[in-house]
Structure 1
Amino acid sequence: MRIMAFDYGTKRIGIAVTDPLQMIATGLETVHPNLIVEYLKKYLQTEQVERFVVGEPKQMDNTPSQSAMHVKGFVNLLKKTFPDVPIDMMDERFTSKMASAAILAGGVKKSVRQDKALVDTVSAVILLQSWMERRSFGF
């Protein structure tokens, strides 16, 4: 079964997913928040997902950021719509900066680097990879 991660934003949700053996995190795509339930219902018809991981937005002092209330609403929507799928929260500080740096290091053209959807997807991959590493080390 797969693990699916979300980098929630009010304009786009970056989505990443593991392989069935839960060894590799891969970017899936970005979806508008209004379409996420429909997208997930369709995805879950063909793939088994064991758990959702949602990025938890925090300030540098570890307090919730301004977007935390939007993420909370998203998590409540996931719980209501998919009650059998457990949800883990994962600190998402720096994922967007790390994603931008990774895209730049990959030698991607400037026009592609400016695609915010790509940054959101890579952020979801980093979030999921971090969650997998944390789980492996028993944190």
Structure 2
Amino acid sequence: MRVLALDYGSARCGCAVSDPTGTLATPIDHIERPGTRKGLVRVADLAREREVERIVVGLPLGLSGHDTDQTRETRAWADKLRERVKPIPVELYDERFTTAIASRSGDTRTSEDSRAAAVLLEDWLALHGGTTGGDIA
């Protein structure tokens, strides 16, 4: 199953996609200003172009596990995305520490946001092993 992972931020949305077997995660170009109408359309187009069967959006919970302002903004954006990409399922997944891990990779070919999305996707794929998974929302 091909999965698209998104590391949402109001300025940029990092993107990563799995291979068709759901084994490997590859960072791809980020999307500028995903919260705008144009940005949201671009994310939806990307999902269709890549023929993904599931979208995983990183949920930036606070270190305590509670919602923050960014968590609430991400949940609201994911709700808009769900409407835009139906019937592709959109799942929220804890992204704590993905940016810190991605920043240590040293890879400069893709944005740090997309590398964080790849870390998120690798974690999600390891946990779900190609299954459809659930939603922590």
Question: Which TM-score bucket, shorter chain as reference?
Answer: 0.7 to 0.9
Where 1:52 maps in the other structure, the secondary structure is strand
1:16 matched to 2:35: no
| CA shift for structure 1 position 41 | 4.0
1:31 matched to 2:31: yes
State the alpha-carbon separation in 1 of the partners of residues 95 and 44 from structure 2: 25
What is the aligned residue count?
129
Taking structure 1 as the reference length, the TM-score comes to 0.82
Distance 1:128 1:45, change over 3 A: closer
5+ long unaligned stretches in structure 1 = none
| CA shift for structure 1 position 5 | 0.5
Larger Cα-atom Rg: 1
State the alpha-carbon separation in 1 of the partners of residues 120 and 51 from structure 2: 20
Q: Which has the higher helix share?
A: 1
Where 1:67 maps in the other structure, the secondary structure is helix
2:45 aligned residue: 42
Contact 2:16 2:26 (8 Å CA) reproduced: yes
State the alpha-carbon separation in 2 of the partners of residues 45 and 87 from structure 1: 13
Taking structure 2 as the reference length, the TM-score comes to 0.83
One-letter amino acid matched to 1:37: L
1:93 aligned residue: 96
